[in-house]
Amino acid sequence: MKTAAVFTTFAAIASGLPANCTQTTCPTAQEATSFSLTYGIPLLAFQQLYSTQQEGADAPVVNQLVANTELTTPNDTAVISPNVDTLYSVVIYDISHQDLELVVGDVPADRYYSVALYTPYGENYVTFGALTDASAGTYLLTPAQSFNTSGTVQADSTGRYAGIIHVPNTFGTAMIRILLKNAEGDIAVVNEIQDGFSAALVNRTGEPVGPQLTDDVFSNSSSSQPEYIMDLTARFAHMVPKTLGGEIVPVQTTATLMAAGVDPKSGTYAKPACVNLTQAYTSSQGAMMSAGESNATSTDLGNGWKMYNSEYIGTYGTHYAIRAYFAQEAYLAMVNTEALYPFYTESIFSLGTNESYRMQFSGKPQLEDVGFWSVTMYSAEGYLFENAIDRYTIGDRSNLTYPDGTLVYGSDVNSTFEVLVQGATPPDEYISNWLPSPPNGSDFIMLLRYYAPGDSLRKGDYTFPHLEPGAAVV
């Protein structure tokens, strides 16, 4: 990128001059537009989450805690690649005019839970819960006033709050995950725990920080999706609190957005005359996919598995291309201190109706006391799909068995075991270890997750499962 040209255009926009393209600025404006599209693509996922939560609701859901009291099913499309190990509670928050009090209820010490806070771009800027020994109580979400405390939880000197969360963007999402155990009636137990969580607005002094979160924020009069992304990018650019000691959005990032025609002060977008949005969008998509598939962003774990490095998942810094990738592939992913998401080199799987995979585990994965692991099956689009036994995931809370028929999680024995992946229904003796793939041979995704991972998983010392292709077991 031609930095001098970027700042020339930045200066022109800042001074009120039109963002006309000249022979000097046109290449910069085109590059800046591609950059800005990459920067703003995650807002489409936020818009989808907002719309899905709002759909069918009798009143606005903003700043309301919406608890999913049943397991995710194939009919639920609010979240891409949802886990079905936990029950979710969601707050889409707006603290532009008032602060938000988030009440965290009591959760037994032997049950995993987490409260993860995200910006609209999917940045997991704060997580607390079972792994942080967080206390129950009321937490205050308020716009960050200092660059140094932005995106952190600070103690409340008055003792009124369990913590004060300094939020880096006036809009965002609080996602509460509570583990479901493999016990009859456990959904009711978790529902009771969910009842202890709530959210409510509280007045604060001072001027509002940007507009309120309503349907108007997502209104679309654009002629194309790239133009709509640019419009959203502009609208959200002035919803960032002004902070002392530095800018939450890097100065160079703001300059590049402005070179593309984004005005953060007014929240509007004006396309420079010579910019080709279609070409810029194609370039942006290429950068996004390249970042997601690059060896530079992940570590090789062996047996065909890789894992994204900590700076490329959950929190992304200025790695906007990988952030956009996750917004499309796994929006609201957590930081890897909380959960690990190994992925297979073949991200899309396909099995014929007479084929199978045997997922061979070297032993039980090492987890913290509240930890759990699972393999979850999705369609190629990232959603659950119907199968003969309504099983979408398999893991440590399943009735997995060793080859001799004894339960994997029934004793201290730690030996090899297999998960059978195929579309055809296997004989009865294989049912407990069967994860159904699409029976019609459609493409699918399998995601391996470890929550509260132990040292061997975090350090990559564990031997990750080997996938052995073969004939279907019938």
Over range 377-388, report the average pLDDT: 94
256/358 same-domain check? no
d(CA 415, CA 403): 10
pLDDT of 6 > 90? The answer is no
**Is residue 272 located within the same domain as residue 350?**
no
| pLDDT at residue 2 tops 90 | no
CA distances from residue 136 to 158, 178, 184 in whole angstroms, order as listed: 17, 14, 26
What is the rounded average pLDDT of the residues 202-206?
Answer: 95
Concatenate the DSSP letters of all residues of 182-209 into one string: SSTTHHHHHHHHHTT-EEEEE---S---
Is 9 a member of any domain?
no
Averaged pLDDT for residues 417-425: 98
Q: What is the spatial distance between Cα 98 and Cα 170, in angstroms, rounded to a whole number?
A: 10
3-state secondary structure of 355: strand
Distance of CA 172 to the CA centre of its chain: 12
- Per the domain annotation, does 14 fall within a domain? no
Do 272 and 351 lie in one domain? The reply is: no
Please give the pLDDT value at position 133: 82
Q: Which pLDDT score, from 0 to 100, does residue 20 have?
A: 52
Q: What is the pLDDT of residue 238?
A: 82
**Please, which residues have CB within 8 angstroms of residue 58's CB and are 6 or more apart in sequence?**
none
Indicate if the alpha-carbon torsion angle 132, 138, 144, 147 is positive or negative.
negative
- Give the global pTM: 0.90
Phi, psi of 414 (to 5 degrees): -130, 100
pLDDT tens digit sequence for 229-280: 999 999 999 889 989 888 999 999 999 999 999 999 999 999 999 999 999 9
Residues 467 and 396 in one domain: yes
Q: So what's the pLDDT on residue 25? A: 59
- pLDDT category of residue 21 using cuts at 50, 70 and 90: low
- pLDDT on residue 56: 75
How far apart CA 194 and CA 67 sit, in angstroms, is 7
Q: What's the token pair of residue 24?
A: 């000097």
Confidence of residue 78 (pLDDT cuts 50, 70, 90): low
Does 71 lie in the same domain as 175? Answer: yes
- 102 touches 113 (CB < 8 A): no
- Co-location of 278 and 374 in the same domain: no
The interaxial angle of helices 277-293 and 225-237, nearest 10 deg, is: 80
Most distant CA pair in the chain, distance:
77
Q: Which residues partner with 451 through β-bridges?
A: 339, 372
Q: What pLDDT shows up at residue 119?
A: 98
93, 107, 205, 322 from 160: Cα distances, Å: 21, 21, 17, 39
Over 50: is that where the pLDDT of 201 sits?
Answer: yes
Sheet holding 444-453, edge to edge: 339-340, 444-453, 367-379, 393-395
Are residues 152 and 78 part of one domain? yes
User: Does residue 462 belong to any structural domain of this protein?
Assistant: yes
Does 18 have pLDDT greater than 70? no
Our count of domains for the chain comes to 2
Which of 7-11, 218-222, 294-298, 352-356 shows the lowest mean pLDDT across its residues? 7-11
**83 pLDDT above the threshold of 90:** no
Q: Are residues 213 and 356 in the same domain?
A: no
- CA–CA distances in Å: residue 259 to residues 248, 252, 311, 387: 19, 10, 27, 50
Helix, strand, coil percentages in the chain from 3-state DSSP, rounded to 5: 25, 30, 45
Query: Beta-carbon neighbour count of residue 143 at 10 Å?
Result: 23
Q: Give the single-character DSSP code of 225.
A: H
Burial label, 414 (beta-carbon count in 10 A; 0-12, 13-18, 19+): exposed
CA triplet 60, 65, 68: central angle to 5 degrees?
105
- Looking at the fold, whether 243 and 353 belong to one and the same domain comes out as no
Q: Is 335 among the domain residues? A: no
For residues 261 and 270, is the Cβ–Cβ distance under 8 A? yes
Indicate whether 410 belongs to any domain: yes
Domain boundary residue, one of 289, 306, 324: 289
Angle, to 10 degrees, between the axis of helix 42-54 and the axis of helix 320-329?
A: 30
What is the average pLDDT value for the chain, to the nearest integer? Answer: 91
- Amino acid identity for residue 369 in this structure: D
d(CA 140, CA 156): 9
pLDDT tier, 8 (very low <50, low <70, confident <90, very high otherwise): very low
Residues 181 and 262 in one domain: yes
> What separation in angstroms does the CA of 397 have from each of 239, 327, 342, 414, 426?
42, 29, 19, 15, 21
What gap in Å lies between CA 212 and CA 206, rounded to an integer?
A: 15
Start-to-end C-alpha separation, the chain: 58
270 and 394, same domain (yes or no): no
Answer yes or no: are the C-beta atoms of 212 and 44 closer than 8 Å: no
Q: Is residue 461 part of a domain?
A: yes
What CATH code is carried by the domain that includes residue 399? 2.60.120.1600
186 occurs within a structural domain: yes
Q: Between vectors from CA 178 to CA 174 and to CA 179, what angle results, nearest 5°?
A: 145
Task: Tell me, yes or no, whether 412 lies in a domain.
Answer: yes
Between 47-61, 212-226, 277-291, the lowest mean confidence (pLDDT) is in 47-61
Query: Same domain for 208 and 105?
Result: yes
Question: Could you say which of 254, 289, 324 is where a domain stops?
Answer: 289
Q: Which of 248, 272, 289 finishes a domain?
A: 289
User: Using an 8 Å Cβ cutoff, are 378 and 385 in contact?
Assistant: yes
Range of the domain at 45: 25-289
Alpha-carbon separation of residue 329 from 44, 88, 287 (angstroms): 12, 19, 15
CA proximity to 178, closest of 167, 169, 191, 159? 191
